[in-house]
């Protein structure tokens, strides 16, 4: 088999596979995309979003408690035990004091960045869940007549043209 024949065969097979997946005006044998064999790129259920958001919130709280070396052993003046040790080392002219303080600042900065990421994930998923629920309700309401009956397919197709 030559290159042109093999290329034509591969294109034909790819086209057949694609046309099997492209069912725009039917759902298929089952409503659930995964159960119907549909390999969608992204399928998210409201429960999944909630679980991920809750887990991000939980991790944020634990991380905040367990990584706060700056606040450990805090005095009334607001300095933690690590900052106190760095200051004490600097008083005695030891270079380790400045290095310890620099390490503390770097650590605190990186922990804050990670905490912000987890907070962003949690907040964004909560927002997305609410936004999509509102969108669904709005779409459902727009596909009903005033008497509550469903809008016909022929009437919906007027909007698509």
Over residues 21-35, the pLDDT tens digits come to 554 444 445 444 444
pLDDT score for 161 = 60
Q: At what angle do helices 95-142 and 81-91 cross, to 10 degrees?
A: 150
Q: For residue range 87-99, what is the model confidence (pLDDT) as tens digits?
A: 889 999 999 999 9
Inform me whether the pLDDT recorded for 17 exceeds 80.
Answer: no
Q: Is the pLDDT of residue 133 over 50?
A: yes
Query: What values do phi and psi take at 144, rounded to 5?
Result: -130, 145
Q: Are 9 and 17 in contact (CB under 8 A)?
A: no
Q: What is the pLDDT of residues 34-73, one digit of tens each?
A: 444 455 555 667 677 778 888 888 988 888 888 877 667 6
- As a whole number of angstroms, the distance between CA 54 and CA 161 comes to 42
User: Closest Cα to residue 121, out of 53, 64, 58, 67?
Assistant: 53
The end-to-end CA distance of the chain, in Å, is: 46
What was the pLDDT predicted at 89? 92
Q: Say which DSSP state 30 is in.
A: S
Nearest 5 degrees, angle CA 108-CA 112-CA 113?
Answer: 120
Decide which of 100 and 40 is more confident.
100
């Amino acid at each position: 088999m030559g290159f042109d024949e093999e290329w034509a065969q591969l294109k034909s097979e790819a086209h057949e596979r694609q046309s099997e997946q492209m069912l725009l005006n039917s759902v298929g044998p089952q409503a659930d995309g995964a159960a119907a064999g549909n390999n969608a790129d992204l399928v998210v259920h409201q429960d999944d979003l909630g679980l991920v958001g809750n887990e991000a919130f939980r991790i944020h709280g634990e991380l905040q408690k367990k990584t706060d070396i700056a606040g450990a052993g805090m005095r009334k003046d607001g300095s933690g035990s690590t900052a106190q040790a760095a200051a004490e080392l600097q008083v005695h002219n030891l270079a380790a004091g400045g290095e310890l303080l620099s390490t503390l600042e770097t650590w605190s900065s990186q922990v804050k960045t990670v905490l912000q990421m987890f907070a962003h994930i949690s907040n964004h998923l909560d927002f997305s869940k609410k936004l999509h629920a509102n969108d669904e309700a709005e779409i459902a309401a727009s596909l009903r007549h005033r008497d509550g009956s469903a809008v016909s397919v022929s009437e919906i197709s007027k909007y698509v043209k």
